[in-house]
Structure 1
């Protein structure tokens, strides 16, 4: 009778994962309050002890675009495909900042949260998901700034001689964000699993992100890339996403369903691999970190 009462007292039962692709989203939903708490922590903690606070969300893309405008347009004389240079660079920076920010943070999931993981149970997937969502809030702030600049050039086009031609593909922007989030989440989980044994990936990541940016159409249009390297640049799944955004808001650049489908397929594959590796390492990472 006592054993029966004790069994009835349990409110949560924890089972080991038996499937490598087991996301256990139902359990993640039960811990949604913790997810919100982590999102708030990640969003607030970054600029908590700064003077300007969240204003850095706006200052960073503006100053980055101004520097790129001076270096790549005025000095290097790179083409912007007929798009106002400031708008061109901001469109690439907003997209790349979200992807690189999500990738950098999720890649540190295991090492950065070892203290919490070793003390209390909760679905480990909540941690990288909270980082993706907190970075999404930052992306939305910077995207609004991009829209402000876009509206300025759109209504000033007649006097400046530069006309923007937005089109129906603007409705694809949410899809672009989902693909970016999936790419960053999958890649970040893979790198996070690798860093539990090989710390070299921690140093390699920041270096690789910088190099990868030059292999993406952030500071130059695809049309200005040499023909022999164009297929290599298109192999980067971020390239079609940035090109699609520019095409949607300006009418310049390129848009192709095949390349967008390639980015989506690449995201599904890398996310699947990321979940498999994450679930496998999750069971034993405390022994190696």
Structure 2
């Protein structure tokens, strides 16, 4: 029951800011009320990244193209790693755009508290709006790169390659899971970086190791059968395999692996949100 002072305060003011007392005092409705602020953050991130650059948003296309070209030469021509029958350039591009979206979400949100301390200390708004806006702004880049992937897919369609019709149906689910996984991992790292600054230096190195533990430059079929279970520990592995299976007709669609990945993604996201909510109350004392 609300006591009289709080009732009087709520009647006098339009907005009452109170402390978050419990671990699960998340208040998701409050984030929705600040959706206009999220839109402003998304526009700020999109403009700031390529401000005063000559090519501007063309970097969205040049980065995956140049990286895919290097992968094609090194892993396709020199190392001769199999691609399950798909053209190497298309195979590497499909894995790269998925991985890049996840990695960009994780790396960008892993510095939320430290990178925005000057703003958090001056005005109140739900702190979770910042990493959410980062995930949405990275979605713009993914959309442009996905159109590039479709263009390359149409080019190779003259051969034996074909796209399964359910690909576009699965795409929103895959993108949503990649965003949730990147957001969850990123805010977990951000919450821990407040006390352990070494984590900020390990993120980039760790993402490189994680990429090579994910079937980005090789198919899951290249894993020996006795070690195939290790892919279940990597939630990004089934996502990339399902993406390739849906659009290239290669790879494997293992429903059990995908469900295990989905469960792990939800667990990481919930843990990240709870930890983020707990840390934001006192992070200004330690930043």
Instruction: Give the TM-score of the pair, scaled to structure 2.
Output: 0.94
2:21 aligned to which of 11, 18, 21: 18
Counterparts of 1:179 and 1:105, CA distance in 2: 17
Paired residues, what number?
281
Q: How much has 1:189 moved relative to structure 2?
A: 0.9
Counterparts of 1:32 and 1:7, CA distance in 2: 23
- Do the aligned partners of 1:238 and 1:263 also contact (CA within 8 Å) in 2? yes
Q: Flag structure 2 segments of 5+ consecutive residues without an equivalent.
A: 1-6
Matches for 1:222-233 after TM superposition, within 5 Å: 222-233=220-231
- Do the aligned partners of 1:87 and 1:149 also contact (CA within 8 Å) in 2? yes
- Do the aligned partners of 2:135 and 2:179 also contact (CA within 8 Å) in 1? yes
Matches for 1:33-112 after TM superposition, within 5 Å: 33-112=36-115
Q: Flag structure 1 segments of 5+ consecutive residues without an equivalent.
A: none
Matches for 1:1-289 after TM superposition, within 5 Å: 8-154=11-157, 156-157=158-159, 162-289=160-287
Q: How much has 1:227 moved relative to structure 2?
A: 2.7
- Do the aligned partners of 1:36 and 1:130 also contact (CA within 8 Å) in 2? yes
- Structure 1 runs of 4+ with >4 Å offset: 4-9
- Do the aligned partners of 1:95 and 1:242 also contact (CA within 8 Å) in 2? yes
The CA deviation string for residues 240-272 of structure 1, in whole angstroms up to 9 with x for no partner, is 000001000121110011111111100110011
State which drifts further: 68-77 or 231-240: 231-240
Counterparts of 2:58 and 2:230, CA distance in 1: 37
Q: How much has 1:43 moved relative to structure 2?
A: 1.2
- Do the aligned partners of 1:21 and 1:272 also contact (CA within 8 Å) in 2? no
Return closer, same or farther for 1:98/1:203 CA change in 2, 3 Å cut-off.
same
Counterparts of 1:152 and 1:270, CA distance in 2: 38
Counterparts of 2:24 and 2:67, CA distance in 1: 39
Q: How much has 1:192 moved relative to structure 2?
A: 0.3
Counterparts of 2:165 and 2:220, CA distance in 1: 19
Return closer, same or farther for 1:7/1:73 CA change in 2, 3 Å cut-off.
closer
State which drifts further: 20-29 or 10-19: 20-29
Counterparts of 1:198 and 1:8, CA distance in 2: 42
Return closer, same or farther for 1:141/1:5 CA change in 2, 3 Å cut-off.
same
Aligned residue for 1:36, secondary structure, equals helix
Q: How much has 1:173 moved relative to structure 2?
A: 1.1
Return closer, same or farther for 1:256/1:169 CA change in 2, 3 Å cut-off.
farther
Counterparts of 2:250 and 2:103, CA distance in 1: 25
Instruction: Give the TM-score of the pair, scaled to structure 1.
Output: 0.93
Q: How much has 1:165 moved relative to structure 2?
A: 4.7
- Do the aligned partners of 1:244 and 1:253 also contact (CA within 8 Å) in 2? yes
Counterparts of 2:107 and 2:229, CA distance in 1: 26
- Do the aligned partners of 1:170 and 1:245 also contact (CA within 8 Å) in 2? no
